[in-house]
Structure 1
Amino acid sequence: MALFQQLPFFNPTVPFNRPIHGGLLEGIIVTVCGRVSPHSSRFQVDLMHGSDIVLHFNPRYEGGSEYVVHNTCHYGHWGSEERKYETPFPRAQTFALQILVTQETYKISTNGKPFFEYKHRMPFSHVDSICIGGMVELSLVAFQYPAPHYAAPPGCFMVPYKRIFCGGVHPGKIFIIQGFFNPGGNRMEISLRHKTGIAFHCSVCFDENVVECNSYEDGKWENGEKSQVALLKREEPMQVTIFSSCDHYKVFVNGEQTHTYSHRFTKLEEIDVLEVSGDVELTFVQP
């Protein structure tokens, strides 16, 4: 199975240890979303080759000092640490970590903002698994091979949110939307658009706990498809993930699959706009 066809992992238990089918290639993005435990002392995300740790990403919360350690462990011997004295992931808060593999470095982004670049000490092509451990809760681990001209997502997620992306939609494409319902808010809407219509529209209704999916073509809405979702809570973060396969979209809300929606607009390469609107405050978006 090719890496970009691999389904994401939702709400996996920690410690998490999975092979990476096909290994790492230049341009692949590893996405890890979760929540740091309130009393966490540390957690780590490791890209592995056998027992070697090719990339060690290790936020620490010890002795009143909060920082992140980056390192490599080869044949049981650690290299020199590269530390950044900043905490991108405060305790008890949700986070989104992205690792973009480039020819020279791993470009690490946290909550949509560039955080660190780590130069390769071992070939990234050797990586064959990912391990995550420590005091952290996971909501999503995903792998994506993006289209050319990938650009890191902006750090500002104002609503209504609109983002043009290159390369269209392809099998393995993942969209991640994280945020909170505003006080008294009731609805969030997500649209994947092309020049003349909306290929996929997803509406999450708070009061009714319903997700409705539809398409807008030739100036009119088609027949919608509704499904129930587990109880949503305004005081808790919400994560909507849309995963595109060859013939349908899979919709997950807080890790629960709510819908499988067959492609009605099949020219996926022409879809190039992501929009998010409604009664929400966004904390992270991956187009």
Structure 2
Amino acid sequence: MAFEMHNMDMKQGDTLKIKGKVTDDGDRFAVNLGSCADHIALHFNPRFDDVTIVCNSMCNGSWESEQRDSNFPFSKGVEVKIHITFKGDNFEIKLPNDHVIEFPNRLSLDKITYLAVHGNFKMISFKCS
């Protein structure tokens, strides 16, 4: 399953609220925010096989260094809400258990125009405000 949106207008201070359900057979999913598919400021990637969350960025098609977080509040077959706030110099990702992951805006983007959700996640709704 995949969802992709171009021409999004997420500015500093905006929060993206994503609601969805992890599939019953899910092993991983990803939420990507950036300016295009090969210029990703935030790659948010919960991995069930490693029981870890990987965050990363991609510049001109090349992945940079991963940041891992072992706080893993996701379960297969369960509906979740994820809130991602664009702070300008970083992203704050609020997980379903209220744990917050901070990830730097390595690409120094002023606004986010691209959103993609891939993997074993069925998006129910999203809102950016």
Scaled by the length of structure 1, the TM-score of the pair is: 0.41
Identity %: 19
SS in 2 for 1:256: coil
Residue equivalent to 2:62: 220
| C-alpha separation in 1, matches of 2:61 and 2:89 | 24
Determine helix, strand or coil for the equivalent of 2:99: strand
Looking at both structures, which has the greater relative contact order when contacts are Cα pairs under 8 Å and sequence separation is at least 6? 2
Divergent runs of 4+, >3 A: none
Task: Give 1:198's aligned residue.
Answer: 40
1:278 aligns with 2:126: no
Count of matched residue pairs: 127
Letter in 2 for 1:241: H
Equivalent position of 2:20 in the other structure: 179
Provide the C-alpha distance between the structure 1 equivalents of 2:90 and 2:118, rounded to a whole number of angstroms. 23
What do you get for the CA RMSD once the two structures are aligned? 1.9
In structure 1, what is the Cα distance between the partners aligned to 2:97 and 2:113?
25
* Structure 1 runs not aligned, ≥5 long: 1-158
Separation of aligned partners in 2, 1:217 and 1:235: 33
Q: Distance in 2 between matches of 1:164 and 1:181?
A: 24
Secondary structure at 1:186 match in 2: coil
Name the counterpart of 1:256. 98
- How does 1:15-94 map onto structure 2 within 5 Å? none
Between the aligned partners of 1:186 and 1:245, the Cα distance in structure 2 is 29
Aligned residue among 5, 11, 14 for 1:170:
11
Question: 1:264–1:233: structure 2 CA closer, same or farther, 3 Å change rule?
Answer: same
Structure 1 residue 216 displacement after superposition: 0.6
Q: Which amino acid aligns with 2:94?
A: F
Q: 1:278 Cα deviation (Å)?
A: 0.3
**Counterpart position of 2:83:** 241
TM-score by structure 2 length?
0.85
Structure 2 CA distance for partners of 1:220 and 1:230, relative to 1, 3 Å: closer
Whole-angstrom CA distance in 2 between matches of 1:282 and 1:173: 19
Q: Which has the higher strand share?
A: 2
Residue by residue over 1:114-173, the C-alpha shift from the partner in whole angstroms, topping out at 9 and shown as x without a partner, is xxxxxxxxxxxxxxxxxxxxxxxxxxxxxxxxxxxxxxxxxxxxx301122443x32211
- Give the Å deviation of 1:255: 4.1
Mark the runs of 5 or more structure 2 residues left unpaired by the alignment.
Answer: none
Question: C-alpha distance in 1, partners of 2:77/2:109?
Answer: 39
Q: Deviations over 1:191-250 (max 9, x none)?
A: 112145112111011243311111111331000100022442224311221111132101
